[in-house]
Structure 1
Amino acid sequence: MRSSLTRRGLLAAGSGLAATAALPAVSGCSSLAAAASDPDTLVVHTQLGTTAPGSATYLSALDRFRAQNPGLKVKNLINGDDLGQVYETSRLARKEADVVMVNLYDKTLAWTDVDATVDVGGYLDDWRLRERVLPAALSAWTDGKGRLRAFPYFATNWPVAYNRALLDRAGVDAIPTTGDQLIAAARKLRAKGIAPVTVGGNDWTGQKLLAQIIQTFLTPDEARHAYSTGDFGSRGAREGIEYFTTLRDAGVFADKAQGLTSDTMNTQFNTQAAAAQSAMSSALAKVPENVARHTEVGGWPLADGAAHDKPTVIRAFTLIGFWISPNGVRKIEHVEKFIRFMYGPETVARFVQESGRDMALHTDAVSADFPLVAAAQRLGSGVSEVLLPDVYVPPAATQPLITATSTSFTRGTSAARVRAALESAYRSV
């Protein structure tokens, strides 16, 4: 891989936004350039600040940070899913933000390797913050060359939420723990006009659930191999795909799941049109109180011969980290103040208590106002963990895998065609 960003390389691999369209999304070229060059202004580029979970807590934290550092200005740049493209465009112009708050996924996987951001391991030690980070988070954010890509911050639990009231209405006596029980429950729910499991089969939520189900028959090492290489031909991967198609064709997933998105999935569950969903912490935090009080969380049901002995969940520590850019290195004293503040126990606790966020840092705070988030945290050894594939999937395969996911959720698509669709997503890698 090349050592620096080029317009033909990393930028061209992105969403195709032109530079003239991308930079105005962060308040315009001139304002970004001025802020980036001002030694007394810290520029933070983040996905928090609008409706993203934790935004209100983050903006409040910024206000407190500014009050504690009156001589330091902070410019907050906000983008959504296009943050990676916008950041890369600004980096090509050497006008990038000093700190970037984004997850480890797709385009960002390459940033440290192409000098778009820097290895922060030395800073973590120099600032004596290593003991604040959960060991699993440090491992997840460290690349194959031993470089720490970013300061870990948000984590997530990803269990299955089951609406106990809807299950009771359909005569389902217990939360399903096996595939046969799940299929039987789906039949009873459909008889009552209730969608069984809702899922965004047309976006990343469906891709994650599909990956989770395929891993039913895979060890962690086998799963890493499959999602790193696109080789789904092993016995375990083929059995996992067959398990998925069996569940799908038995009516386990909501009708037309291949066209649903994360928004429609959450809406169906939160309005009690569906009995279950695979939901990460941020989605669990948004379940209305009248639904949450009769919702239980657990794992995805297993099939005979599974590689796991308990229903599975995804746990991940790469949801948001603090990346330092080359511009940030020039303002490293300001960056240190900001990260120390964000790593402070009070700030971390507020994200847990006010926003229901799971953290990649040690904290004693509890999500008391977010009972489903807290319940997911308590699952502990009662479930088995499978891998989040994000850090293993090559960036060029990420979007093609979403397309393959929609194909996979289309009822009647054979296991062989699902495998072919998954493997074809890696052809451009």
Structure 2
Amino acid sequence: MHSPLTRRGFLAAGSGLAAATVLPGLSGCSALTGADSDPHTLVVHSQLGTTAPGSPTYLAALDRFRAENPGLKVKNLINGDDLAQVYETSRLARKEPDVVMVNLYDKTLAWTDVGATVDVKGYLDDWGLRERVRPEALGAWTDAKGRLRAFPYFATNWPIAYNRALLDRAGVDAIPTTGDELIAAARKLRAKGIAPVTVGGNDWTGQKLLAQIIQTFLTEDEARHAYSTGDFGSRGAREGIDYFVTLRDAGVFADKAQGLTSDSMTTQFNTEAAAIESAMSSALAKVPAKVAEHTEVGGWPLAGGAAHDKPTILRTYTLIGFWISPNGTKKIDAVEKFVRFMYRPDTVSRFIEESGRDMALHSDAVSTRFPLVAAAQRLGSRVSQVLLPDVYVPPAAAQPLITATSTSFTRGTSAAKVRAALETAYRSA
């Protein structure tokens, strides 16, 4: 499907982005002052640096990099979920940072295509870094035209976390592996006043779990078609939606899940108000030690006739990459030093060991301080992997899908209405 973020669309994208290029009153905002024309100053724009998982390790890495390169200054710009829009604003003013650290999702899917960032494949090979990257990561970051959008860096496993102690308290003898077992476990948990599956039904966490459940009856190719086109009318997609609705109306998900967020989800699980959550690596790393001691990780339970033979998990290699901007190509020697440093085995191992991050690069390091992250890394063939739809969903449909997710998690919404909500999200794409 053609991306709506064409060059013309990029100029009009976001709230007032086009105006930012002509209104002098905006010239002092951080979005427009990120670039530094000094060839001895590298400007990096990242989501790391505050409370984001891995921030302390990243800031320490910057300190080491500065110490090893005394003639090169590094300016670190930090934004959260608004990073993509802030970057686009600065790019429109031709004052964008040199390197951007962000995931491949929504707005960023179109950046290389519209010239907001550059194809880095040639740099990867010229700098001899291809062998450092997992082949799956290279595939995920490469677009349909063969361009490598960014240097892959963070990855994540996304299993299901089960609080074994809460399940035991409710009389659930084993981790559920089928839908029937999950429904039975939910009833027992509710009888003890414990929420079964907590999920951010009003944000991206709910969207991912919904996509995972729908794929119960889909092959990878069928899932790719559904999430690329918005066509959820195939037999497998309809069966997956039916399965989700059956679980939802049986009380599997926490009360009012349609209004919960990722923050409320992790709070419920980490305070043991809920027994089960779909948790990516960064969430697993935050589970308190006393809770982690009696928590197991596994996959999402299957229904009869599923396209998979084992409970499912999500996995992605597109969580954070190093994108190079047009400004960055003017300081490519400094960019090369930075990327090489971040790709070094000792730097990569620190993110794994100190922050519990999964990486898109080869490493022998293990997340020993984060037992649930390490356990997820060892799941291997005990689970089946389904498709993370992020790189296939058209940017214009990404946010509407969140709205459709909240509708889907509202109890009583029929399977037909869930399907209609999902397909409606694609109408503007």
TM (norm. structure 2) is 0.96
* Count of residues paired in the alignment: 424
Deviations 1:166-203 (A, max 9, x none): 00000000000000000000000000000000000000
Matching residue of 1:116: 116
Deviations 1:110-163 (A, max 9, x none): 000000000000000000000000000000000000000000000000000000
Contact 1:5–1:115, Cα closer than 8 Å, also in 2: no
Matching residue of 1:179: 179
Contact 1:157–1:358, Cα closer than 8 Å, also in 2: yes
Contact 1:200–1:262, Cα closer than 8 Å, also in 2: yes
C-alpha distance 147-68 of structure 1, shift in aligned 2 (>3 A)? same
Contact 2:302–2:311, Cα closer than 8 Å, also in 1: yes
Runs of 4+ in structure 1 over 6 Å off: 1-5, 20-23
Matching residue of 1:106: 106
Matching residue of 1:384: 384
Contact 1:84–1:108, Cα closer than 8 Å, also in 2: yes
Deviation at 1:38, TM superposition (A): 1.2
Deviations 1:84-128 (A, max 9, x none): 001011111111000000000000000000000000000000000
Q: Which runs of 5+ in 1 are unaligned?
A: none
Secondary structure in structure 1 of the residue aligned to 2:323: strand
Alignment of 1:20-419 (within 5 A): 26=30, 29=32, 31-33=33-35, 35=36, 37-419=37-419
Contact 1:22–1:89, Cα closer than 8 Å, also in 2: no
Deviation at 1:9, TM superposition (A): 1.3
Contact 1:118–1:324, Cα closer than 8 Å, also in 2: yes
Q: Distance in 1 between matches of 2:191 and 2:267?
A: 21
Q: Distance in 2 between matches of 1:267 and 1:3?
A: 36
Specify the code of the residue in structure 2 equivalent to 1:308. Answer: H
Secondary structure in structure 1 of the residue aligned to 2:136: helix
Deviation at 1:32, TM superposition (A): 2.6
Q: Distance in 2 between matches of 1:322 and 1:357?
A: 16
Q: Distance in 2 between matches of 1:189 and 1:195?
A: 7
Q: Distance in 1 between matches of 2:190 and 2:28?
A: 48
RMSD: 1.6
Secondary structure in structure 1 of the residue aligned to 2:183: helix
Specify the code of the residue in structure 2 equivalent to 1:200. Answer: G
Specify the code of the residue in structure 2 equivalent to 1:274. Answer: A
C-alpha distance 219-146 of structure 1, shift in aligned 2 (>3 A)? same
Contact 1:3–1:115, Cα closer than 8 Å, also in 2: no
C-alpha distance 406-11 of structure 1, shift in aligned 2 (>3 A)? farther
Contact 2:199–2:206, Cα closer than 8 Å, also in 1: yes
C-alpha distance 399-138 of structure 1, shift in aligned 2 (>3 A)? same
Contact 2:4–2:395, Cα closer than 8 Å, also in 1: no
Q: Distance in 2 between matches of 1:2 and 1:366?
A: 39
C-alpha distance 203-376 of structure 1, shift in aligned 2 (>3 A)? same
TM (norm. structure 1) is 0.96
Percent identity for Structure 1 against Structure 2: 83
Deviation at 1:11, TM superposition (A): 4.8
Deviation at 1:14, TM superposition (A): 3.0
Secondary structure in structure 1 of the residue aligned to 2:34: helix
Contact 1:25–1:79, Cα closer than 8 Å, also in 2: no
C-alpha distance 373-16 of structure 1, shift in aligned 2 (>3 A)? farther
Secondary structure in structure 1 of the residue aligned to 2:374: helix
C-alpha distance 266-82 of structure 1, shift in aligned 2 (>3 A)? same
Specify the code of the residue in structure 2 equivalent to 1:116. Answer: A
Contact 1:22–1:85, Cα closer than 8 Å, also in 2: no
Secondary structure in structure 2 of the residue aligned to 1:32: coil
Specify the code of the residue in structure 2 equivalent to 1:371. Answer: P
